């Protein structure tokens, strides 16, 4: 499942390719046809992202709410668009570009109040934080984490607690702060949470910029350590994610893996202590 940085990047990419001009909207697969007919020829004038939810705004007509889920895919291409296959749920076409959405969990036309209701049930998103202090901050997440008996690794994956963090960022941010993933939320100290939130803001912004997840500090890059770069279809340099049974870059101990909150958790028992 894509993590939040991918969705925020998709929002930017849609605005760059289709923003401010009329867009041809269709649903070759048919499941979104009625809504596509309402949107066809209207101007895409806003985009938004919150966690793993993407919103494409068409003025007074409403928002297209997209959640990719496990299998959804967005594909951008040039113009003219090739004939669509019947797996395309949503197609956008401009004179210069096209976009095909396939296999999303959600693709629905919603109103402003319906969009607000989605925001209300999601936790704060590190990518919605603003440098001037407006936007999301870690307070709402801390209020829930600090009184929870649930493990911090599970809390970080709970989109109602914090939105946009997925399996890679949760493993990596806990490693970077030396926190045992099995610690209960209420055993986390306030200063630790503030550091985790600030780190997620920085790491995920970099993820949007580079369109991949890199979490190693400058002294642990392949160049700095004289080691070969990581080979993995996720790309990016990381400390523990998908490095089970390999040597920790810091302590040399063995990285471990176990299933937690339905996903594989990775951590270094040597560096991450209770």
Binding site for Zn ion (CB under 5 A): 248, 250-251, 253, 268, 270-271
- To Zn ion, the closest distance from the beta carbon of 247 in angstroms equals 8
Catalytic annotation on 17?
no
Q: Which residues pair with 215 in a beta bridge?
A: none
For Zn ion, the closer of residues 16 and 251 by Cβ is 251
- To Zn ion, the closest distance from the beta carbon of 220 in angstroms equals 11
Catalytic annotation on 263?
yes
For Zn ion, the closer of residues 229 and 253 by Cβ is 253
- To Zn ion, the closest distance from the beta carbon of 181 in angstroms equals 13
Of all residues in this chain, which one has the CB nearest to Zn ion in the complex? 248
Q: Catalytic one among 12, 31, 263, 269?
A: 263
For Zn ion, the closer of residues 130 and 217 by Cβ is 217
For Zn ion, the closer of residues 73 and 217 by Cβ is 217
Q: Are 63 and 25 in contact (CB under 8 A)?
A: no
E strand or H helix that includes residue 266: strand 263-267
- CA-to-CA distance for 162 and 36, rounded, in angstroms? 32
CA 1 to chain CA centroid, Å, is 8
Ramachandran quadrant class, 224 (left: phi over 0; alpha: psi -120 to 50; beta: rest): alpha
β 53-58/24-26 pair status: unpaired
- To Zn ion, the closest distance from the beta carbon of 221 in angstroms equals 17
- Give me Rg for the CA atoms of the chain: 20
- To Zn ion, the closest distance from the beta carbon of 174 in angstroms equals 12
Q: Catalytic one among 9, 52, 91, 115?
A: 52
β 73-78/24-26 pair status: unpaired
Q: Catalytic one among 2, 28, 126, 181?
A: 2
Minimal CA–CA distance to 260: which of 148, 123, 151? Answer: 151
For Zn ion, the closer of residues 76 and 182 by Cβ is 182
> Which tokens hold the place of 122?
């999601």
Catalytic annotation on 2?
yes
- The residues annotated with a catalytic role in the active site are 2-3, 52, 263
């Amino acid at each position: 499942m894509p993590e939040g940085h991918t969705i925020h990047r998709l929002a930017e990419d849609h605005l760059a390719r289709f923003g401010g001009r009329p867009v041809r909207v269709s649903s070759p697969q048919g499941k979104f046809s009625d809504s596509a007919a309402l949107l066809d020829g209207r101007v895409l004038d806003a985009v938004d992202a919150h966690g793993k939810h993407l919103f494409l705004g068409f003025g007074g007509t409403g928002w297209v709410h997209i959640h990719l889920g496990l299998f959804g895919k967005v594909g951008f291409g040039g113009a003219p668009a090739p004939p669509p296959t019947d797996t395309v749920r949503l197609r956008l076409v401009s004179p210069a570009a096209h976009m095909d959405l396939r296999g999303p969990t959600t693709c629905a036309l919603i109103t402003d109040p319906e969009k607000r209701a989605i925001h209300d049930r999601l936790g704060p998103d590190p990518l919605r934080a603003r440098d001037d202090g407006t936007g999301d901050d870690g307070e709402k997440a801390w209020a829930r984490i600090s009184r929870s008996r649930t493990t911090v690794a599970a809390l970080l994956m709970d989109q109602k607690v914090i939105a946009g963090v997925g399996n890679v960022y949760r493993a990596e941010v806990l490693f970077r702060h030396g926190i045992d993933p099995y610690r209960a939320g209420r055993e986390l100290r306030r200063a630790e949470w503030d550091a985790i939130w600030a780190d997620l803001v920085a790491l995920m912004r970099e993820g949007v910029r580079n369109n991949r997840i890199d979490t190693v500090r400058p002294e642990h890059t392949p160049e700095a350590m004289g080691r070969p770069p990581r080979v993995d279809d996720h790309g990016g340099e990381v400390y523990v994610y998908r490095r089970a049974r390999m040597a920790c870059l810091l302590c040399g101990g063995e990285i471990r893996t176990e299933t937690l909150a339905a996903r594989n958790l990775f951590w270094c028992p040597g560096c991450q202590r209770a």
